Amino acid sequence: MDFGIFYEIEVPKPWTDRSEVDAYQQVFAQVELAEEVGFSHFWTVEHHFLTEFSHCSAPEVLYGAISQRTKKIRIGHGAVLLPFPYNHPIRVAERIATLDIVSGGRVEMGTARSISLMELDGFGIPPEETRPRFLEALDLITTIWKNEGRIAYKGKYFTVPERTVIPRPVQKPHPPIWIAATGEETHHLAGSLGCGVLSFTFLVSPEEMGRRLKIHKQAWDACTTPIGAQKHYGAATFTMVHCAETDKEARANAAESILWYTRYAWDLIIELAKKSQAPSYAYTKQMYDMDINKITFDYLHQNDMVIVGSPETCIKKIKRYQENGMTQLLCFMQIYNIPHQKVMDSIRLFGKHVLPYFK
């Protein structure tokens, strides 16, 4: 199985003039170390307006810098927001191809439609239109790549006269395509399009994650007409990770920051659930009956919704994920207030003891 290091790029308050600069410099150092110790992938989100939670609104710029600081680690856009006007699909195709060139063919394109009203409203995107806007944008991107850049396209949201889109990506026929999925409907969609899935263990047990991954795999197996030039399989799962010498130390380092992240993310999802009637976001209403104030670190830890502990504990938890169909673990380590040196120590310890176990 593969291991990716994953980033929101969190910048806790109080801020100084150096807060964001320091956060990005720390990301550089952490990713360079992650490559050195054996992580195969680097992933970040694309988010907008989510102060403290994610200061990663232009990840494609960050990827260019990462591509020149690393040599082997694959660079995952986890995930580019496709509903227009977040990003025009022609610009996405151009940026991904350019990054593929400058990185020497190391790009993986994750895609998403967004689950935050803060972001959707900020860009004037109706929640009920995110799915059709997403699908048309993905269709236009893959049409560009399947036709070697020469296209003429007419859809509901995009009309493009005959043009040649340049440059072309290094990877042939094009970089692997992933779809971020929370609800089971999107897991099925990702599989039916012949794409890999970027799943989550956010307030979800490994067994429930596994059930959703099975839905994806069944749809992927049945897919005969992928949206890309060829099918790409992968079952990646995001979770919060912190490794230390002992379980006690790991908990002391990470518990507070993990709960902060959990409550912030829950608030984002609940806001959408309360205000949107879009059928494709129906799964968000499942969290209505959950009392977030009763979600403790012990609850997350005991149910393996997070991976926190000594190397031995981390290995035990990851085996449960692997048994449920995961092929890549997206390790979110730079969580809120965990100090940079503690994150570096976690990466180094994880690389020394955990990664070799799964090779």
Q: Is 211 left (phi over 0), alpha (psi -120 to 50) or beta?
A: alpha
Count of C-beta atoms within a 10 Å radius of residue 210: 21
Model pLDDT for residues 81-113, shown as the tens digit of each residue: 999 999 999 999 999 999 999 999 999 999 999
Task: Please choose, from the candidates 42, 77, 73, 41, the residue with its C-alpha nearest in 3D space to the C-alpha of residue 59.
Answer: 77
Q: Kindly tell me the sign of the dihedral angle through the C-alpha atoms of 184, 188, 193, 197.
A: positive
Q: What φ, ψ does residue 272 adopt, rounded to 5°?
A: -65, -40
Pairing of strands 2-7, 41-44: parallel
State which residues form the domain around 173: 2-358
**Quick one: average pLDDT of 143-163?**
97
211 class by beta-carbon count within 10 Å (0-12 exposed, 13-18 middle, 19+ buried) = middle
Confidence grade of residue 293 (pLDDT, cut at 50, 70, 90): confident
In the chain, pLDDT over 90 holds for what percent of residues? Answer: 92
- The number of folded domains in the chain is 1
Q: What distance in Å separates the CA atoms of residue 27 and residue 29, rounded to the nearest whole number?
A: 5
The continuous run of DSSP H or E covering 210 comes out as helix 206-222
pLDDT at res. 288: 67
Angle subtended at Cα 193 by Cα 122 and Cα 214, rounded to the nearest 5 degrees? 100
- Cβ atoms of 137 and 82 closer than 8 Å: yes
The Cα angle at residue 272 between residues 19 and 276, in degrees rounded to 5: 150
pLDDT at 98: 98
CATH number for the domain spanning 329: value is 3.20.20.30
pTM across the whole model: 0.96
Q: Is the pLDDT of residue 351 over 70?
A: yes
